[in-house]
Amino acid sequence: MNKINALWRLMRPHQWLKNSFVFTGLLFGHAWHDTHLVMQVLAAAVAFSLISSAIYILNDIVDCEQDKLHPVKCRRPLAAGQLSLTSAGVFSVILLMLALGLAYLISMTVLVILLGYALMNLSYSLRLKHVVLLDVFIIAAGFMLRILAGTLGVGIPPSQWLLLCGLMVTLFLGFAKRRAELATLNEGGAVHRKVLAHYSPVLLDKMIGITASGVVMSYSLYTMSPDTIRAHGTANLIYTVPFVLYGVFRYIYLLHKQDGGGDPSRELVRDKHLVLAVLAWGVVTVWLLR
C-alpha cells in the first residue's frame, strides 16, 4: 500500500489541473453540445495527464540528488528513498505508452502533438531547463500544445486571440514560478536549479509585469474583437475582464506577500480568492456563451 501511495504521489495528480487548457476549444468553440467532441477532448486531457506524469517522473529521476537538498522537494518519493529509480523508470514508460496509445485512438494530430510534447520535455529535462528564458518559454509551449490538442487535434479551429492570451498566461505563470523559487531558496537557488543563477528578483518582476499586462490586454481585445462578437453572438464577454484582472492581481499579491506562486496548480485550489475568481469567470462566461 505504501508503494502504491508513493507511485500515486510520484504522478503528481494535483498538476493535472494544468490540462484544463485542453478544454479551451470546447468552451470558446461552442462545441460542448457535441457528445463525440466532448469525449475526444476528455480523452485528450487524460492522455496529457498520463504523459505529463511520465515526464514528472523522468524529471524526478534526473534531479533526484538535487531534490534531496531542496527544503520541499526532499519529501518527494524518489528523493525520500520510498521508491527505487528502476521502479520509477518502468512506471514512467508504462504511463508514456498508455498516453500515446490513447492519443492514437483520438487522432493522428493529437498523437503528433503528444510526441512533440514528450520530445520537448525530454530536451527540457536533460539540457534546456538550464537555459535562461528558454526554460520558461518551453513551459509555456507545453500549455500551448494542450490548447492545440483540444482544438486542432479534434477538429475545432483555434482562435488566434486565445492562443495569444494562452501564451501570455503561461509565460506569466512561468516567470512567477521562477520568482517564487528564487525567494524560497535565496542564495542557494543555483544549487537546486542552475538557471536561477541567471535570474534576479528585479529582472523577473519586470517580466512578470510585462506578461501580466499581456494577459489582460490580449484577453480584453479578444472579448471586443468583431470576430469574437460575431462568433459568439454577444458583445458582453467584456464583462468577464474584471475577474481576469482580479485573478492576475491576486496571484501577484500571493507571490510577494504570502510566499505563494511557486506552484500554480496548488494556488488555484488552495487560495479561496483565486478559486472564487476562476469560478465566477467560468460561470459568467458559460452564461454569456450559452
Q: What is the pLDDT of residue 47?
A: 95
Is the backbone of residue 30 left (phi > 0), alpha (psi -120 to 50) or beta? left
DSSP structural state of residue 236: G
Q: What is the pLDDT of residue 193?
A: 67
**Which single residue is written with the C-alpha cell 494530430?**
109
Q: What is the pLDDT of residue 232?
A: 86
| pTM of the model as a whole | 0.85
CA distance 120 to 139: 9
Q: What is the pLDDT of residue 235?
A: 92
Total length of the chain: 290
Instruction: List, for the chain, all residue ranges whose pLDDT scores fall below the cut of 50.
Output: 187, 189
Q: What is the pLDDT of residue 183?
A: 79
Tell me which amino acid residue 239 is: Y
Q: What is the pLDDT of residue 129?
A: 85
Cβ-based neighbour number of residue 160 at 10 Å: 11
- 63: which 3 cell numbers? 534531479
Helix or strand run (H / E) with residue 161:
helix 160-185
Q: What is the pLDDT of residue 146?
A: 94
**pLDDT digit string, tens, across residues 215-272:** 999 999 999 999 889 888 899 999 999 999 999 999 999 888 766 656 676 777 788 9
Q: What is the pLDDT of residue 189?
A: 46
